[in-house]
Homo-oligomer: A and B are copies of this chain.
């Protein structure tokens, strides 16, 4: 091997430009107190020598590491990867997060952490000690995990919480970025109401995920606004296909079965497709169906599913941007940001009564 040294260091640049290390450093970091002509001269040397600062050295000297940690749930992520069904969440996070990081000279480091595990703290502390990240992005369900928040706070790592619920007392709230789950559910419900549906069933997600509750609220609010009750129209799922099967069967075997169903995620929507098929109900003639998330899956059913679209990439990019900005101005207003959901109308929704 032979120990690899930095090919071009700040010293080379300083010598080449005939200035001190400090001046070069100031130019690199866009700091004030450098005359424009100096700045240009130094920049010319940097360009000519192809100098790029070592982030290890930058970090060592007490500055930034230019590393941002993206924390995801280990168990679920690995399960998704192994299932090989197209892991939309991760892909979209990388798309939004990596590209935004790159634009600011940062890198996103994808890190898996166990939620339901005693050594979350140990794992996370190790990652922080090893990498010294400038920030962390938390995804559900980590966003609301007090242990994780506490570790980050203790190590003074700024964090952004995607889809987080509330501020934990005694802990800094972090940067809050959410997707508009309630709004998404409202849009879906209104779409179905506009199509003439009156009995609109809803399959909810697990209470562990706060966004699941928000989706229920949106649906309920819109139903009530339309003067409709929701009795017998809500079934609890837990985001798994199996739970969707159970919930869909419960809804669709009722004597007063709904003419439309909103499922809180794609897996449960696919389960609903299966049960509808099993019961001889045709989609969308006998049953309109709206899904949540809009992962790749829903485009490959026949008909393709109308779905609420989660703007994961945009949300992650926004979180990255705010994290980096907060580093510059720690006191800037980091009030909660809510990203609007999209809505893709496909073939699984149709006017009420046109078929069944």
Binding site for B on A (CB under 8 A): 1-8, 50-57, 59-60, 62-63, 65-66, 78, 80-82, 84-88, 90-92, 94-95, 98-99, 102, 107, 109-110, 112, 122, 125-126, 129-132, 155-158, 294-297, 299-302, 313, 327, 330
Contacts and interface: CB of A to CB of B under 8 A. Distances in A.
Contacts of A301: 300
Instruction: Give the number of copies in the complex.
Output: 2
A12 B130 CA distance: 16
A215 to B, nearest CB: 21
A125 B52 contact: yes
24 contacts: A1-B327, A1-B330, A3-B63, A4-B155, A4-B157, A50-B125, A52-B125, A52-B126, A52-B129, A53-B130, A54-B59, A55-B130, A56-B59, A56-B132, A57-B60, A78-B95, A78-B99, A84-B92, A85-B86, A86-B88, A90-B94, A94-B110, A98-B110, A98-B112
A184 to B, nearest CB: 17
A86 to B, nearest CB: 2
A131 to B, nearest CB: 7
Contacts of A302: 302
Q: Which of A94, A122, A294 has the most CB of B within 10 A?
A: A94
Contact of A129 (B8, B125, B296): B8
